[in-house]
Amino acid sequence: MKVDGKDIRPIWYDSTTQIVQVIDQRRLPHEFAVMPLTSVDDIIVAIKELAVRGAPLIGVTGAYGVMIAAMTAGDGQDRKEIIEHECLRIKDARPTAVNLAWAVDRTLSKTLAKDDEADQIKAACDEADAISEAEAENCRLIGEHGLPIIQAISEKKSGKSVNILTHCNAGWLACVEYGTATAPIYTAFDRGIDVHVWVDETRPLNQGSRLTAWELGKHGIDHTIITDNAGGHLMQHGLVDLVITGTDRTTYSGDVANKIGTYLKALAAKDNGIPFYVALPSSTFDWEIRDGITDIPIELRDADEVRRVQGFSNGQLTTVLVSPADSHAANYAFDVTPARLVTGFITERGVCGASESEVKALFPDLSPAIAS
């Protein structure tokens, strides 16, 4: 996507310098900084500390991490074990995002199919590139398949602005291009449909007010930042036509793990008869888990992310303490929205309902082994 007129992605591999580069999203929207990742530890820190975040991007980053593991594993007899061990460490960096394990395992398998070190590195690099391109293409297709939903609302409103609420950042910063939740929005905007986005700030890390607002602003899309508390009120008053979020992991039965607070917006959408869509590439489906609420592990992050807020003050990134220093805090990173609250999934293959039968019907090739 464009940043100040230049085409850029949130991650790329510079084949000349042989270095993986990422946009350091911790510094956005205040500073646009590019960060090299040259070791597996760099990869893990970038994922853990959210320099890169978002299910598809984490997957791509993990895949390049396998390449770095292959580059740095040495030529000892335990080379294979080292690479495998490094891959376990990478997968452990964010337990909720299913894409990470998926992308790492896929790249690892291609890598270890080769015997020679150079071949392994090339296989890992090719696979990481392929995953990256596939994610970009998936997001483009999600945009195409989501477009008619926005188009229909726009026509019903006689061209008046379509108000779309989104939570967290499932934009191109979270993916490679277009984003997931934002893909239909970018596509609609690019086709001349009048859209306005309500951006949930998304505490504790404010991915909405920091990243989604920045992305949309750079693309020229009208948007308004709101607190996470505000969406229900807006829906009660007819100010939201549609909710679209991303997801970090979605069960084949339709339960959606996404940034903490998504469930509350889904409840409000249901209570006010507003469609609630989740946009995702099929790599985000978990084909093993049926009950998302009981079985998806929910990451508990550092409590200081709740007690403190980072922002810009006097020209520099500053963290302020909001609460009493000695109060306990808990930082659940995700929640699970049950399928009954989800209107549908917008995927790279099209739109389907949030039920096992509809998901399986759209992805019969990916869901062979599910016992009913």
Contact positions vs its own copies (CB under 8 A): 29-30, 199, 201-204, 206, 209-210, 213-214, 217, 222-234, 236-237, 259-261, 263-265, 267-268, 271, 293, 298, 306-313, 318-324, 326-332, 334-336
What's the closest the beta carbon of residue 50 comes to its own copies, in angstroms? 15
**206 CB contacts (<8 Å, ≥6 apart)?**
309, 310
Q: How many other CB atoms are there within 10 angstroms of residue 291's CB atom?
A: 12
- Indicate the residue among 17 and 229 with the shorter CB distance to its own copies: 229
Q: How many residues does the chain have?
A: 372
- Indicate the residue among 141 and 205 with the shorter CB distance to its own copies: 205
Residue 62 token pair: 């993990």
- Indicate the residue among 82 and 309 with the shorter CB distance to its own copies: 309
- Indicate the residue among 252 and 263 with the shorter CB distance to its own copies: 263
Sign of the four-CA dihedral 238, 239, 241, 247: negative
What's the closest the beta carbon of residue 31 comes to its own copies, in angstroms? 12
Terminal-to-terminal C-alpha distance of the chain: 42
What's the closest the beta carbon of residue 26 comes to its own copies, in angstroms? 13
What's the closest the beta carbon of residue 25 comes to its own copies, in angstroms? 14
- Indicate the residue among 90 and 242 with the shorter CB distance to its own copies: 242
What's the closest the beta carbon of residue 296 comes to its own copies, in angstroms? 11
Which of 241, 248, 255, 335 is an active site residue? 248
What's the closest the beta carbon of residue 200 comes to its own copies, in angstroms? 8
Local structure of residue 282 (DSSP, 8 states) = G
Tokens 């997968």 identify what position? 91
Backbone angles phi, psi at 313, to 5 degrees: -150, 130
Residue 25 token pair: 């999203």
Distances (CA, A) of 184 to 54, 110, 151, 214: 17, 33, 10, 17
- Indicate the residue among 106 and 307 with the shorter CB distance to its own copies: 307
Backbone angles phi, psi at 222, to 5 degrees: -60, 130
Cβ–Cβ under 8 Å, residues 161 and 238: no
194 is catalytic: no
Q: How far apart, in whole angstroms, are the C-alpha atoms of residue 182 and residue 26?
A: 20
Written as one string, the DSSP assignment of 29-76 is: TT---EEEE-SHHHHHHHHHTTSS-SHHHHHHHHHHHHHHHHHHS-SS
- Indicate the residue among 109 and 319 with the shorter CB distance to its own copies: 319
Name the strand (E) or helix (H) holding 313. strand 308-313
What's the closest the beta carbon of residue 246 comes to its own copies, in angstroms? 15
At 308, the amino acid letter reads R
Look at residues 253, 283, 276, 270 and name the one whose alpha carbon lies nearest to residue 355: 253
Catalytic (active-site) positions = 248
